[in-house]
Amino acid sequence: MEPTDVPTGYLVAGYRITGPIGAGAWGRVYAGRSEADGSPVAVKFLPPGRLAPGQRRTLAELTRREIRFSRRADHPQLIRTLAVVTVRDPDRQALDGAVALVMERAERSLQQLLQDAEPGRPLPGAGPLLTELCTGLAHMHGKGWVHGDLKPGNVLLMADGSVRLADFGLTTELEGTHAYIPPLGSLDHVPPEWWSQRSGPRGVQLRPGADVWAFGVLAHQVLTGGLHPFLGATARARGLAAQAYARGVTPLRLDERLPAGWRALIADCLAVDQAVRPDARRLTARLRALHTPPPRRRNRIGRLTVLAAALLAAVPAAGWARLPGQAPLPPPPPAAGAGALPADADVPAALREPIERAARACPEPEISPALIAAMLKAESGFDPAAARPATQEYGIAMWTPSVFKAWAQDGDGDGRKDYMSAPDAIITMGNYVCWLDQQLKRRGTGGDLRELVAAGYRTSDKTVADAGGVPERVRSHVDLVLRYLAQYGG
Ligand SMILES: Nc1ncnc2c1ncn2[C@@H]1O[C@H](COP(=O)(O)OP(=O)(O)OP(=O)(O)O)[C@@H](O)[C@H]1O
């Protein structure tokens, strides 16, 4: 195919090209800047080129899909397309008629990150990265779309650390239970059913389970510094190994360093029968739970802590000890009385144990009993029956029921997860603010993390990160939390 060489300084749709980023099978991507405000962009040129008829048809189909889905993609984890134009430049034949897709610019791709990774070790921030990615996938599936080409090269990492799913050239819309795409894809990430399918006039059939399979492969790569779950020197050999597993000839052999929870999640994604692969929404909830420490019963803490200390001492360099997504290693025990709420604090006696338990479950030092107590007092004045129906906030921690559902923990051990139960609401709050704290650290948002967490609980981690600190509209609430925090010795 004729390459689309775009010179530095070239102007397209108000964006000035500043240099090449990379090339894919069908197009080239360049860095650029907006002439209006200097903001960085990436511009993908899909060439008009002189192609063989079959190639031309495929390119036209990919371009049509890319334009269609890029324009409609509207989610924080899907790359945003700012403009789509057809280049008109009769003086440059190779460019005249090319389609230029102007997108927000990422810092690098997951593919690049994996190339530099140490085999066997999880990438830093692996758990939150996979969770964010899965949120984007769940959004697409919720709309009835299948991405169709999920692979590390199509997962982009932004300057603020957030993740975007990109490249909608093979994205398609479900018609009933199936969709159709041209018979293309990354051999390393296509599911086993892809290999055995005959391509009909509309291409090959696709279901959301294909994306879930690809996610399982990708999760294995992210959690093991790039190792593919199926062994082989080439993508085709790995594809054959995946097919042998699907036929029951060989068992699934995931990297043995993977902790049990992650191993089970990946194995579920790599189920041979695509009907039993988990859906992306459930997967997101499982991912969240995997990289936030679960609450523990008080009488088990001593035993678990001894075990954790032994494990930490035995595998200090294994990499897993630092994986944010790994729950099994509990934090070290608090020294007697350390972190406990002052005896004379106005925290109701019945709430002290769940508050201290919630804080202990989080390895982040900012998430102390004093902070959780201060947040609860500012939220509801410690009233388990509090309700603000106008804003859909209920219970002692003022949970919005739909948000609570995604994070819910059973704090009182009655087998139910109920935001009107104070222990359930408090333990879930601890779980959520622990994740918030980790997200804010990962995004590098500057400021006092306790303030940021209190603000994030009222808004979201993204709102706080975008504001670069406490957003003005929650300032007075955060000040209240800080006042109570000081009273509780925090
Ligand atoms: N919005 C973006 N910001 C920064 N880099 C990008 C952006 N979009 C794509 N890239 C990078 O540009 C390069 C080419 O991307 P492109 O989507 O054309 O191909 P690919 O996904 O690498 O391969 P293929 O076309 O075979 O799927 C890749 O390295 C990709 O990470």
Tens-place pLDDT, residues 361-403: 887 889 999 999 999 999 999 999 888 877 888 899 999 888 8
Q: Are residues 95 and 122 in the same domain?
A: no
- Look at residue 199 in the predicted model and tell me its pLDDT: 56
State whether residue 338 is helix, strand or coil.
coil
Number of domains forming the structure of the chain: 3
Closest CA to 182 of 75, 25, 49: 25
Q: 142: domain CATH number?
A: 1.10.510.10
How remote is the CA of residue 38 from the centroid of ligand 1, in Å?
22
Select from 79, 105, 131 the last residue of a domain. Answer: 105
Atom of ligand 1 nearest to the CA of 28: 18
The residue type at 118: E
The answer to whether residue 432 scores a pLDDT higher than 70 is yes
Structure confidence at residue 446 as a pLDDT band (50, 70, 90): confident
Burial of 31 per CB tally in 10 Å (0-12, 13-18, 19+)? middle
DSSP 200-263: BTTBEEE-HHHHHHHHHHHHHHHHTTS--SS--SSHHHHHHHHHHHHTTSS-----TTS-HHHH
Q: Is 4 left (phi over 0), alpha (psi -120 to 50) or beta?
A: beta
How remote is the CA of residue 27 from the centroid of ligand 1, in Å?
8
Closest CA to 87 of 101, 100, 70: 100
Q: Are residues 83 and 119 in the same domain?
A: no
In terms of residue numbers, what domain contains 447? 349-487
Q: Are residues 118 and 93 in the same domain?
A: no
The answer to whether residue 314 scores a pLDDT higher than 50 is no
Closest CA to 404 of 279, 261, 288: 288
In this prediction, residues 144-156 reach a mean pLDDT of 91
Q: What pLDDT digit, counting tens, does each position of 163-208 carry?
A: 999 988 767 765 555 655 555 567 899 898 877 766 555 566 678 8
State whether residue 11 is helix, strand or coil.
strand
Q: Are residues 54 and 143 in the same domain?
A: no
Residue nearest to atom 24 of ligand 1 (CA): 24
Q: What share of the chain is helix, strand, coil (3-state, %, to 5)?
A: 45, 15, 45
In this prediction, residues 216-224 reach a mean pLDDT of 97
This model of the complex carries an ipTM of 0.96
- Look at residue 322 in the predicted model and tell me its pLDDT: 37
- Look at residue 485 in the predicted model and tell me its pLDDT: 93
- Look at residue 183 in the predicted model and tell me its pLDDT: 53
* Cα gap 222→456, rounded to integer Å: 27
Q: Are residues 33 and 152 in the same domain?
A: no
Q: Are residues 140 and 208 in the same domain?
A: yes
Q: What pLDDT digit, counting tens, does each position of 87-144 carry?
A: 889 888 888 888 888 999 999 999 999 999 988 899 999 999 999 999 999 999 988 8
Is 44 annotated as contributing to ligand binding? Answer: yes
The answer to whether residue 148 scores a pLDDT higher than 60 is yes
Q: Are residues 154 and 281 in the same domain?
A: yes
Pocket of ligand 1 (CB under 6 A): 21-27, 29, 42, 44, 79, 103, 105-106, 109, 153-154, 156, 166-167
DSSP 134-178: HHHHHHHHHTTEE----SGGGEEE-TTS-EEE---TT-EE-BTTB
Residue nearest to atom 12 of ligand 1 (CA): 22
How remote is the CA of residue 62 from the centroid of ligand 1, in Å?
14
In a domain, 214, yes or no: yes
State whether residue 351 is helix, strand or coil.
helix
* Cα gap 201→463, rounded to integer Å: 46
Q: Are residues 88 and 119 in the same domain?
A: no
Q: Are residues 254 and 281 in the same domain?
A: yes
Select from 267, 291, 315 the last residue of a domain. Answer: 291
In a domain, 340, yes or no: no
Of the listed ranges 53-62, 81-90, 445-454, the least confidently predicted one is: 53-62
Select from 291, 318, 335 the last residue of a domain. Answer: 291
In a domain, 43, yes or no: yes
List the end-to-end C-alpha distance of the chain, in Å, as a whole number. 64
Q: Are residues 24 and 136 in the same domain?
A: no
Which pair of tokens denotes residue 119?
A: 């085999």
How remote is the CA of residue 153 from the centroid of ligand 1, in Å?
6
Q: Are residues 284 and 411 in the same domain?
A: no
Of the listed ranges 234-238, 330-334, 343-347, the least confidently predicted one is: 330-334
In a domain, 4, yes or no: no
Structure confidence at residue 52 as a pLDDT band (50, 70, 90): low
In a domain, 341, yes or no: no
Above pLDDT 70, what percent of the chain? 80
In this prediction, residues 319-348 reach a mean pLDDT of 54
In this prediction, residues 232-240 reach a mean pLDDT of 90
Q: Are residues 100 and 126 in the same domain?
A: no
In a domain, 325, yes or no: no
Q: 70: domain CATH number?
A: 3.30.200.20
**Mutation choice for ligand 1 from 104, 109, 147, 168, CB with most ligand atoms inside 8 A:** 109
In a domain, 179, yes or no: yes
CA dihedral angle for residue 121, residue 127, residue 133, residue 139, rounded to 10 degrees: 150
In a domain, 319, yes or no: no
> pTM of the full predicted structure?
0.60
Alpha-carbon torsion 22, 230, 207, 142, what sign? negative
Structure confidence at residue 212 as a pLDDT band (50, 70, 90): very high
Structure confidence at residue 54 as a pLDDT band (50, 70, 90): low
How remote is the CA of residue 154 from the centroid of ligand 1, in Å?
6
